[in-house]
Amino acid sequence: MDEERRGVYPFCGPCTAGSEAWRAAEAAGPMGARFYGHRDVCENCGSSVRTLYNTVLWIPVSKVGTFRIVPTGGRSYVGRRVVDPPVRTVVRREPVSAIVDHPELDGSPEYKQAEVYWDENEPGQALPFYQAALVEREKVLAADDPATLRVRLRVAQGLLATANYGRAIAWFELVTPQLVDVFGPHHELTRAATEATTGARLMVGGPRSEARLLADIVAADTESLPSGDPQVLRDRAALGKAQLACGDISDAVETLSAVVRDAPSAHPDTEVYRAALIEACTVAEARGKKRDGRLVDTARQVLSRADAPTNR
């Protein structure tokens, strides 16, 4: 956060307020995407509004959306999706947590110490205490219970603050869809997660750098942890999402299929992993390659296994 301009670096406050965090996928060859236009140049941050189109043989065929872009040299850039002012609707009621039946969780020494460090702007000091508090919460509360999600978000933010970018991205990839489902897309916690994810990716340097970093993390995971360990699943799922953003679609389908296969059924985290695999399958089917078709068939079998949830 730029304290003077009150925006998400490198965008100023007004441009941040009129846009949302966005992840650009890498594309190469004749099929990809391209920006057209250059308007509404901001005097504060220098960003401009451009329209992104899907292209075939470098010819625009369909509109993706409108974005604020700040060039960062060469063909690289930082972008945010332009959003229309939200239509005023009934405010979503704050979700009720089952923690009301477990007041000892908020009173635990680990959680209280974590909150003290956080209030003192010491996220690195708070992180191990939040991690310990999260272990205790997940023993009695659902993974997507509002009280659990608040601590999960703090763990992700603590990892980001201590420059553990790969594992921070993995946590944000998992917790952001859950925050959207429980609190809504415009809640302050959801926005904090989406903006923090963008910040982590800026520090890493793009989808390919992110995929390499996560591949190294997954390799380290598998040396010491079983395939079904929550950390392994979380990191591998983030790797699959990064592979998809790179355009390595077959790798993404394989990675995410293995995650869903190893994940526990009827668990809120597994729902997030299943949604990611469904997205990868949709992209693979649209590409129409023969090898992709075989991988998608296998992935669909994993998704339709007898013990899989059916609400996605």
pLDDT attached to residue 44: 84
DSSP symbol at 86 = P
Which distant-in-sequence residues (6+ apart) come within 8 Å of 127 by Cβ?
A: 155, 158, 159, 161, 162
Statement: residue 2 has pLDDT above 50: no
pLDDT attached to residue 1: 37
Cβ atoms 27, 247 nearer than 8 A: yes
Give the separation between CA 303 and CA 284, rounded to whole angstroms.
15
Give the separation between CA 22 and CA 220, rounded to whole angstroms.
29
Which distant-in-sequence residues (6+ apart) come within 8 Å of 220 by Cβ?
A: none
Which distant-in-sequence residues (6+ apart) come within 8 Å of 8 by Cβ?
A: 1, 2, 16, 21, 80, 195, 198, 199
pLDDT tens figures, 129-161 = 999 999 999 999 999 999 999 999 999 999 999
pLDDT attached to residue 58: 61
In which residue are the tokens 């392994």 written? 232
AA letter at 286: A
Q: Which of 16-25, 113-122, 189-198, 266-275 has the lowest mean pLDDT?
A: 16-25
> What sections of 162-248 are H helices per DSSP?
165-183, 188-204, 207-224, 230-246
pLDDT attached to residue 91: 57
Residue, of 100 and 28, whose pLDDT is higher: 100
| Helical packing angle, 230-246 and 268-287, nearest 10° | 20
Closest to 156 in 3D by CA, of 170, 177, 141, 136: 170
pLDDT tens figures, 15-42 = 888 888 877 665 544 556 788 888 889 8
Secondary structure (3-state) at 157: helix
If pLDDT is split at 50, 70 and 90, which confidence band does 191 have? confident
pLDDT attached to residue 311: 42
Domains of the chain (ranges plus CATH)? Answer: 13-82 (no CATH), 98-204 (1.25.40.10), 207-303 (1.25.40.10)
CA-to-CA dists, residue 17 to 86, 208, 210, 257, angstroms: 11, 28, 27, 37
Give the separation between CA 48 and CA 223, rounded to whole angstroms.
46
Two structure tokens written together for 125: 């000091």
Secondary structure (3-state) at 77: strand
Two structure tokens written together for 248: 């390595």
In which residue are the tokens 């992110």 written? 210
pLDDT tens figures, 251-303 = 999 999 999 999 998 899 999 999 999 999 988 888 777 778 888 999 999 99
pLDDT attached to residue 312: 38
The CB density around residue 94, as the number of other CB atoms within 10 Å, is: 10
Two structure tokens written together for 147: 């009280």
* 172 φ/ψ sector (left φ>0, alpha ψ -120 to 50, else beta): alpha
Judging by DSSP bridges, how do beta strands 59-73 and 31-39 pair with one another? unpaired
Q: What's the whole-model pTM score?
A: 0.77
Give the separation between CA 40 and CA 37, rounded to whole angstroms.
10
As a whole-number percent, the residues of the chain with pLDDT over 70 amount to: 88
pLDDT attached to residue 52: 87
pLDDT attached to residue 4: 42
If pLDDT is split at 50, 70 and 90, which confidence band does 56 have? low
Closest to 118 in 3D by CA, of 130, 134, 136: 130
Torsion sign over Cα 41, 42, 46, 47: negative
pLDDT tens figures, 63-89 = 888 999 888 776 778 888 888 765 454
Q: State the average pLDDT for the chain.
A: 86
AA letter at 300: R
Q: Which of 52-56, 121-125, 142-146, 218-222 has the lowest mean pLDDT?
A: 52-56
AA letter at 235: D
